[in-house]
């Protein structure tokens, strides 16, 4: 029996249910590792392992891999991707497969400074980005509102909105760790993607984030879009992120503006799964070295232009026509 390890720090019940159903069908054991002992995934999987936050997590993960003969690993957070980066040499030596970008591109994806530089090289639009010290030194008054966020961050953690130079200078920010970006207005999209080990983009599922609360999409709709798909192909050609990944972008009168490149599953991947995108098949099969048989006609399997509603911290998905909102 094959064994794969999923490391998550948030509750992803619906995603785990879909993944587990397929894994069991393929005789694959799924282990979930989390630093949250109350994670409801523990009620579903055969092996749930609690990872305390006050231990050497690198050594803890190595022990789990050896103890359970883990063959493949994937993660749900940027923090854990950095953890795997530190284990890269050991994982390669042991023949363990794990999802993520090529080693040189992990920081490019996770650092907003670095991925903005990459987007400029690729002639793709991104939010205007500033160093906080430069704004203060130049007394910039013409660029507000600004979003202040960590250079390395995920979701909406530690993000604030400032409307003036006075407001910016009154608040303390570690200026090496934080950046300032213009606030973009427009339609917001997340594109769920999957790239195989050879660098071929197998799935590209754009979805319109119709309602966003605290950085999380609560109403979403799959909508295939040639312009978005062409943009994703450019990113894929450069980054070749093995496994599931996602791009967040805006569309307004200036065109498509890339906001984030995340080399991991998106929090809202459950929308694409519920619409019929076979991510669970690709995630399991690629980790155990099996061809999923997904062809270019996958779009015909996906329910496009249907509103999907998410509630209870992304644990369930239902069709919007079934609820009053």
145's CB contacts (< 8 A; 6+ apart) are 161, 162, 163, 183
Which pLDDT score is estimated for 154? 66
> Cα(208)–Cα(246) distance, rounded to whole angstroms?
13
Q: What is the mean predicted confidence (pLDDT) over 239-267? A: 93
Is pLDDT of 6 > 90? yes
- Residues 56 and 76 both lie in one domain: yes
- Residues 255 and 295 both lie in one domain: yes
Residue 55's domain comprises 2-98
> Cα(267)–Cα(209) distance, rounded to whole angstroms?
12
CATH number at residue 93: 3.40.50.720
DSSP conformation class of 184:
P
Sign of CA dihedral 199, 200, 201, 203: negative
- Residues 151 and 175 both lie in one domain: yes
Closest Cα partner for 232 from 189, 291, 279? 189
- Residues 219 and 317 both lie in one domain: yes
Distance from CA of residue 125 to its chain's centroid? 20
* Most confident segment among 91-95, 98-102, 268-272: 91-95
Is pLDDT of 231 > 90? yes
**Residue whose structure tokens are 């690629």:** 286
Domain boundary among 141, 162, 182: 182
Percent of the chain with pLDDT over 90: 52
- What are the pLDDT digits (tens) for 14-54? 888 899 999 999 999 999 999 888 888 888 887 999 999 88
Within a domain: 119: no
Within a domain: 145: yes
Which pLDDT score is estimated for 253? 96
Helices (H) and strands (E) in the chain, counts: 11, 16
Percent of the chain with pLDDT over 70: 92
Within a domain: 117: no
Closest Cα partner for 192 from 111, 116, 274? 274
Structure tokens that stand for 88 in this block: 């890269």
Give, in order, the Cα–Cα distances in Å from 133 to each of 110, 164, 204, 277: 22, 14, 38, 44
Q: What is the mean predicted confidence (pLDDT) over 285-306? A: 82
Order of strands, sheet of 47-50, starting from the edge strand that comes earlier in the sequence: 47-50, 28-34, 2-7, 72-75, 97-98
- Residues 223 and 240 both lie in one domain: yes
- Residues 199 and 169 both lie in one domain: no
Which pLDDT score is estimated for 42? 84
Is pLDDT of 228 > 70? yes
CATH number at residue 259: 3.30.470.20
Which pLDDT score is estimated for 321? 40
The lowest-confidence range among 75-89, 114-128, 222-236 is 75-89
Q: What is the mean predicted confidence (pLDDT) over 101-125? A: 88
Domain boundary among 98, 120, 141: 98
Which pLDDT score is estimated for 156? 63
- Residues 198 and 172 both lie in one domain: no
Q: Tell me the pLDDT of the chain averaged across its residues.
A: 86
Which pLDDT score is estimated for 215? 67
Within a domain: 122: no
Is pLDDT of 88 > 60? yes
CATH number at residue 138: 3.30.1490
Which pLDDT score is estimated for 314? 44
Sign of CA dihedral 83, 88, 93, 94: positive
- Residues 92 and 172 both lie in one domain: no
Within a domain: 143: yes
Q: What is the mean predicted confidence (pLDDT) over 300-322? A: 58
Within a domain: 261: yes
Q: What is the mean predicted confidence (pLDDT) over 282-300? A: 84
- Residues 149 and 274 both lie in one domain: no
Is pLDDT of 260 > 70? yes
Within a domain: 72: yes
Is pLDDT of 242 > 90? yes
Is pLDDT of 251 > 70? yes
Within a domain: 148: yes
- Residues 190 and 318 both lie in one domain: yes
Is pLDDT of 318 > 80? no
- Residues 79 and 151 both lie in one domain: no
Angle, helix 13-25 to helix 279-287, in steps of 10 degrees: 60
Which pLDDT score is estimated for 40? 84
**How wide is the angle at C-alpha 239 spanned by C-alphas 234 and 240, nearest 5°?**
95
> Cα(271)–Cα(251) distance, rounded to whole angstroms?
20
- Residues 203 and 306 both lie in one domain: yes
Around Cβ 182, how many Cβ atoms within 10 Å?
A: 16
* Count of structural domains, the chain: 3
Is pLDDT of 324 > 50? no
Structure tokens that stand for 125 in this block: 């639009």
Residue 305: asked if its preceding bond is cis (omega within 30°), the reply is no
Structure tokens that stand for 35 in this block: 């630093």
Structure tokens that stand for 224 in this block: 């295939």
């Amino acid at each position: 029996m094959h064994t794969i390890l999923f490391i998550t720090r948030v509750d992803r019940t619906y995603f785990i249910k879909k993944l587990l159903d397929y894994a069991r069908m393929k005789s694959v054991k799924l282990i979930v590792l989390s630093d949250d002992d109350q994670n409801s995934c523990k009620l579903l999987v055969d092996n749930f392992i609690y990872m305390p936050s006050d231990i050497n997590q690198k050594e803890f993960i190595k022990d789990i891999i050896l103890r359970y003969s883990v063959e493949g690993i994937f993660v749900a957070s940027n923090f854990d991707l950095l953890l795997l980066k530190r284990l890269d040499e050991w994982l390669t030596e042991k023949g363990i497969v794990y999802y993520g970008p090529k080693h040189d591109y992990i920081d490019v994806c996770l650092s907003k400074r670095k991925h903005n530089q990459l987007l400029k090289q690729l002639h793709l639009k991104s939010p205007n980005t500033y160093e906080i010290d430069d704004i203060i030194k130049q007394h910039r008054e013409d660029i507000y509102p600004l979003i202040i966020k960590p250079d390395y961050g995920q979701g909406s953690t530690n993000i604030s909105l400032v409307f003036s130079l006075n407001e910016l200078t009154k608040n303390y920010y570690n200026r090496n760790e934080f950046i300032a970006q213009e606030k973009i207005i427009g339609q917001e999209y997340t594109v769920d993607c999957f790239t195989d080990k050879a660098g071929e983009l197998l799935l590209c599922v754009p979805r319109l984030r119709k309602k966003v609360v605290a950085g999380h999409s609560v109403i979403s709709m799959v909508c295939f879009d040639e312009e978005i798909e062409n943009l994703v192909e450019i990113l894929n050609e450069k980054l070749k992120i093995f496994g599931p990944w996602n791009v967040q972008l805006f569309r307004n009168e200036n065109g498509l503006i890339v906001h984030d490149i995340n080399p991991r599953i998106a929090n809202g991947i459950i929308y694409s799964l519920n619409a019929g995108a076979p991510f669970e098949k690709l995630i399991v099969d690629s980790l155990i070295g099996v061809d999923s048989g997904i062809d270019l006609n996958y779009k015909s399997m996906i329910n496009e232009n249907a509103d999907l509603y998410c509630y209870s911290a992304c644990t369930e998905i239902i069709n919007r026509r079934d609820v009053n909102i």
